[in-house]
Amino acid sequence: MLRWIRQQLGFDPPHQSDTRTVYIANRFPQHGHYVPQRFADNRIISSKYTVWNFVPKNLFEQFRRIANFYFLIIFLVQLMIDTPTSPVTSGLPLFFVITVTAIKQGYEDWLRHNADNEVNGAPVFVVRSGSLVQTRSKNIRVGDIVRVAKDETFPADLVLLSSEREEGTCHITTASLDGETNLKTHFAVPETAVSQSASKLEALQAVVECQQPDADLYRFVGRITVTQQGEEIVRPLGPENLLLRGARLKNTKEIFAVAVYTGMESKMALNYKCKSQKRSAVEKSMNTFLIIYLGILLFEAILSTILKYAWQSESQWDEPFYNQKTEQERNSSQILKFISDFLAFLVLYNFIIPISLYVTVEMQKFLGSFFIGWDLDLYHEESDQKAQVNTSDLNEELGQVEYVFTDKTGTLTENEMQFRECSINGIKYQEINGKLVPEGLNDDSSGDGSAPRLSREEELFLKAVSLCHTVQISHEPPDCVGGGVDPFSHTNGFSSPHMEYYASSPDELALVEATRRIGVAFMGSNGETMEIKTFGKSEKYKLLHVLEFDANRRRMSVILQTASGGTVLFTKGAESSILPFSKSGEIEKTRLHVDEFALKGLRTLVVACRHFTPEEYAHLDQRLHAARTALQQREERLAEVFSFIEKDLELLGATGVEDKLQDKVQETIEALRLAGIKVWVLTGDKHETAVSVSLSCGHFHRTMNILELLQQRSDNECAEQLRRLSRRITEDHVIQHGLVVDGASLSLALREHDKLFMEVCKNCSAVLCCRMAPLQKAKVVRLLKTSPEKPITLAIGDGANDVSMIQEAHVGIGIMGKEGRQAVRNSDYAIARFKFLSKLLLVHGHFYYIRIATLVQYFFYKNVCFITPQFLYQFFCLFSQQTLYDSVYLTLYNICFTSLPILVYSLFEQLVHPHVLQSKPVLYRDISKNALLSFRTFLYWTLLGFCHAFIFFFGSYVLMGEDTTLMGNGQMFGNWTFGTLVFTVMVITVTLKLALDTHFWTWMHHFVTWGSIAFYFIFSLFYGGIIWPFLHTQDMYFVFVQLLSSGSAWFAIIIIVITCLFPDVVKKVFYRHLQPTSTQKSQLIESARPGVSCLDSLCCYSQGQSGCSWLARMLDQLRGSCHPSTPIRANNRSWSDSETFSNDRSVLTLSPIESTNC
């Protein structure tokens, strides 16, 4: 227990060396002074809190937020000094915000605790003393031998020791880790594969040495030393020997494996994704506005303090007869008094900083994010996948995107490969009716069923393609129901005709299926032997080595022993990684054919072979074994050996595979372009293929001037080419330019000439980067993101090679494709198809942005309205810090009286119908570059708040300033009645102001708008109409009832509200007619259908009546845009399936709700 506590506190790290030594079954050496290494236990902890640290840790995290910390300081000041308002006014809202957030985070963490307990308590079987013992998952230790049965998940990262098969193989699926549903074969070393029972494993003496825990799912470096009859046998261990926690055992009855990484050191735990730390532009603007308002607060507090002492410089005001100072007050320090008064004013005006803004924004983002998942237009029926939100912090950022960086394969294309053409020995072939036919010839065979004759080159090429891969076969016999037959239980089940290929690469799958159609069928592999059937004739090859594919070599190879005893290497890869290492074959003709395939948009692979003499093979086998058993620098040593092996190749030919475009890619790219968004395609494909696909998907237009920055070999050459391109852009009078750049040239451009490169790119309408490495993609995104203009970037991709780009961009979107789920797991949002991007940005992004932008501005506006009368009141009470409002009103203003209308608005507001936003992408430009949160807009809302506050205060003052006998019985109004009148006018005005800005009305809007006003009146009547025994003083007793009993007060409320809102209505009407935005024009067009007035209303009520329709009609008639005789019929608008916009299935239309559209 003490050791665990020390580990948690970081004083006793579990391991310190670069490697770990695992003694299988924990049989440690008995001789010498062996000190066992310390490893983590097998508990998974995904929760953030415990019972003991929840309160302090959660409070610490919450008070790191500036607004919360600010209100805590205000609350403490109220406790320490004599302030005009009760500490409750700051403490209660702060307590409410902190409590709501803590409950939300605590509930989420409680769910994580439950999930952890379920995982950690799962039953498992381990080998102890030669027998199987059941225990819990959390009790597994490093070195324990674990038994896993079919369809169970692995409870830790395990090295496979044996399976029920003699050859020691098993099949697993890693769908929960990377989304790949294909079966993967994993192997045990031959020395341990024979130990297939608990009793035999008990006698096993072996030690595993491996690297320390690493988050890379596909990397594992280790070796196992097995002691047999006093002799030590060393075997290499790699990813093919490691069974990852979370993966599932398939088609294998049971396996035994030793735990090497447990608990939070397992690869799955190390890949847990932390919450995105990206911050949206709206949040940055909000923080800027908070600082400005903090400056206003300090200014008002300092000014009030100075004016107080200026007033008190006159003796009649310093110590009036009714307020004599005590001796202590006369002798107190003037500096301390000044500071105390400043803090008191700070407390009095502190509500200008809206504490509830943060909690409202969080609720809006959290609740609003559900709309993306619920949107039926973003649901893909074929794959049964809906859009998902991994972080809700960036919803509004979807409405600000200026650049889209997209992958090509699997993102713009389907990643469904179809074999089209191939080149063999310099001759092009096509597949026609399952036969290879040279180009230009027809399939005129007699169809007698006889095997076609193939030349040596053709047969060798087809054999190379059908053997050089990592495809697995699932044998599924028909009628295999019940019976318990394991399709993989036989050693070499090559004979089953019922088989299905599984491959991690769609290219490999397409090629192997094509060779089977042609007549060279891959029949299976058992880890040691591969079998093919060439036109029915079976051939077996011994699999000696697999040289795995990696992104640097861009090729993969197999070394096989033929039936005659010869050794041959088959390799395939990109033409740039095969042709330079080929010394024979039709190299130039094949190069031309590869370029032709690429121009057609086909994905190309080049195939080659090499024959080894026995001496050559013995030498390379020795070097391979040494590199694979190395614990240090294994990757570098293997790369060196692979390069030594994969040279002096005999070129066999090339393949061309088609990857068809996804549905509506061209329309989506065009919509993004119309919306003012520039699209960059970043791909690893070769130049010709990428250009062809760009042209076919509309990324490049046929009329576009294509500029090229390719095959630059030096900095000077690259700089000169960039200057040349810059001059061409300036001199050419072409509307649009497109740029093509390859990875090598990009590296040179980014090294020394990044500014010049960015200048060229920004003047191009479309940019295509080909032959890109994953880190280069991220560098391009970072370069643009950090440019002086600071544009908002979005990256979208479907594979592991896109993760760095997705994480680098402001918004990362993963495509749920066929290259696993790594992109989805690391993204902010995930969609099933590229075509959904237009709806996500143009509709959801538009809605989220206008909603949260209005929410932020409105919050500052209503708090200016709230506090400015308090400031003005000080001029009439000699800055005595007398509060204008009752403490309860101060507390509940932001929590109850004005909170719900803006929350509902921020969830459901729609300026125009979603279908209009999608059909008119240009509307996206109206909100670009943070238009609704610009300083000009912020200044307008702030000045509007000050103007309304002046009208509230002085309107009420004019009414009561000269004659306070407004009651029928001659009773006078006092300061609390005056403050309540100002507060009543304020609550009504700020609520109706939001109603005027609401365009999409539902029953929920009506309920919270009129309900908030009604709740204020009902609450005030109860609060002031009853003597509450728990209140020390009740200044508001009968004040509200007295106020409402005065006809003059009602008259004042109506007049002041109209005075505040009428100029705003007039401004909106004139602006809409004289300087309408594209969005407002669309509203006019949408509303100008039969039964709707010529001018779209600014505020709508039930039955489609506009609060300012008379003004709109008058203005229309004056401008001659609407015939006076046109009947204006009441139109109960509801965006339902009966309307012309019925093809939009988004839940945002709220079709079942009766609503009025503006």
Residue numbers annotated as active site: 407
DSSP letter assigned to residue 662:
P
Q: Rounded distance, CA 1073 to CA 1122, Å?
A: 13
Q: Rounded distance, CA 360 to CA 340, Å?
A: 33
Q: Rounded distance, CA 91 to CA 85, Å?
A: 11
Only one residue has tokens 């003796």, namely 315
In order, the DSSP letters of 109-144 are HHHHHHHHHHHHT-EEEEEETTEEEEEEGGG--TT-
Q: Rounded distance, CA 1152 to CA 872, Å?
A: 48
What is the bridge-based pairing of β-strands 206-211 and 222-228?
A: antiparallel
Q: What CA–CA distances, in Å, run from 17 to 14, 211, 213, 718?
A: 10, 9, 11, 45
Pair of tokens at residue 114: 């439950």
Q: Please report how the helices 774-785 and 754-762 are oriented relative to each other, as an axis angle in degrees rounded to 10.
A: 80
Per-residue burial over 906-918, b = 16 or more CB atoms within 10 Å of its CB, e = otherwise: bbbbbbbbbbbbb
Q: Rounded distance, CA 561 to CA 384, Å?
A: 45
Yes or no: say if 882 and 873 are a contact pair by the CB < 8 Å rule: yes
Q: Rounded distance, CA 770 to CA 298, Å?
A: 55
Kindly report the backbone phi and psi dihedral angles of residue 500, in degrees, each rounded to the nearest multiple of 5, phi listed first.
-135, 135
Q: Which of 989, 978, 981, 979 is nearest to 898 (CA)?
A: 989
Q: Rounded distance, CA 903 to CA 427, Å?
A: 69
In order, the DSSP letters of 655-701 are EEEEEEEPTTHHHHHHHHHHTT-EEEEE-SS-HHHHHHHHHHTTSS-
Does an H or E element contain 974, and which?
none
Yes or no: say if 369 and 389 are a contact pair by the CB < 8 Å rule: yes
Q: Rounded distance, CA 883 to CA 956, Å?
A: 16
Yes or no: say if 474 and 428 are a contact pair by the CB < 8 Å rule: no
Pair of tokens at residue 316: 């009649």
Q: Which of 566, 545, 547 is nearest to 557 (CA)?
A: 547
What is the bridge-based pairing of β-strands 123-128 and 520-525?
A: unpaired
Beta-strand ranges (E) seen in 733-891 are: 737-742, 766-770, 793-797, 811-815, 829-831
Yes or no: say if 1049 and 1062 are a contact pair by the CB < 8 Å rule: no
Kindly report the backbone phi and psi dihedral angles of residue 143, in degrees, each rounded to the nearest multiple of 5, phi listed first.
105, -15
Q: Rounded distance, CA 821 to CA 799, Å?
A: 7
Pair of tokens at residue 123: 């039953």
Q: Rounded distance, CA 827 to CA 822, Å?
A: 9
**Greatest distance between any 2 Cα atoms in the chain:** 125
Q: Rounded distance, CA 812 to CA 824, Å?
A: 9
Angle subtended at Cα 397 by Cα 392 and Cα 400, rounded to the nearest 5 degrees: 165
Kindly report the backbone phi and psi dihedral angles of residue 1123, in degrees, each rounded to the nearest multiple of 5, phi listed first.
-70, 130
Q: Rounded distance, CA 113 to CA 93, Å?
A: 30
Q: Which of 424, 421, 416, 420 is nearest to 464 (CA)?
A: 424
Yes or no: say if 980 and 886 are a contact pair by the CB < 8 Å rule: yes
Q: Which of 235, 345, 252 is nearest to 300 (CA)?
A: 345
Yes or no: say if 982 and 952 are a contact pair by the CB < 8 Å rule: yes
